[in-house]
């Protein structure tokens, strides 16, 4: 079988939407931002997505899962178009990824603090219900005046 066979296949917006689990509105928005560039049918003006668009959409959706901004993704896709070696795109992806990892690490630290605060508060509430703590120890208002 010829590896290039079927390379000119296209998909409609509803086919792409269904396959990738995104709304047609999202696809049109990505097109507006320049992330995708489907051709238009000569017959009815319908959007026709190529293999290139599918590959770009996969990259966009993966990047979104990783928390990359649409602006960052546009930059990466533009680099892909201008650098056939993809090295600059890969370097930039590593930079953006490292920044995102730092952000996630900070979020994890904050969540750990919130989790511990909630565990401590839960323990105080349990002690109160068991008669081992007072309302003052819970830091709860005793009446409407506080």
Residue 73 lies in a domain: no
Residue 108 lies in a domain: yes
Domain identity same for 53 and 95: no
What is the rounded CA–CA span in Å between residue 131 and residue 111? 30
pLDDT 10s per residue in the chain (146 long)? Answer: 344 456 789 999 999 999 999 999 999 999 999 999 999 988 888 999 999 999 999 999 999 999 999 999 999 999 988 988 999 999 999 999 999 999 999 999 999 999 999 999 999 999 999 999 888 877 766 566 54
- The full length of the chain comes to 146
Domain identity same for 59 and 87: no
The CATH number of residue 40's host domain is 1.10.1660.10
Identify whether the C-beta of residue 31 lies closer than 8 Å to the C-beta of residue 70.
no
Domain total of the chain: 2
Residue 37 lies in a domain: yes
Domain identity same for 61 and 23: yes
Domain boundaries, position 28: 10-66
Residue 105 lies in a domain: yes
Residue 55 lies in a domain: yes
**pTM > 0.85:** no
Domain identity same for 56 and 27: yes
CA 50, chain centre distance (Å): 23
HEC per residue, 63-112: HHHCCCCHHHHHHHHHHHHHCCCCHHHHHHHHHHHHHHHHHHHHHHHHHH
Residue 129 lies in a domain: yes
């Amino acid at each position: 079988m010829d590896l290039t066979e079927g390379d000119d296949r296209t998909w409609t917006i509803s086919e792409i939407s269904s396959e990738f689990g995104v709304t047609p509105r999202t696809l049109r928005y990505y097109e507006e931002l320049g992330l995708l560039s489907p051709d238009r049918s000569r017959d009815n003006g319908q959007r026709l997505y190529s293999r290139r668009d599918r590959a770009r959409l996969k990259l966009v959706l993966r990047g979104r899962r990783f928390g990359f901004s649409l602006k960052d993704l546009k930059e990466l896709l533009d680099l892909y178009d201008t650098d056939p070696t993809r090295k600059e795109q890969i370097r930039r992806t590593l930079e953006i990824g490292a920044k995102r990892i730092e952000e996630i690490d900070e979020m994890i630290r904050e969540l750990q603090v919130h989790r511990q605060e909630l565990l401590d508060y839960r323990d105080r509430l349990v002690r109160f219900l068991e008669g081992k703590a007072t309302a003052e120890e819970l830091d709860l208002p005793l009446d409407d005046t506080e």
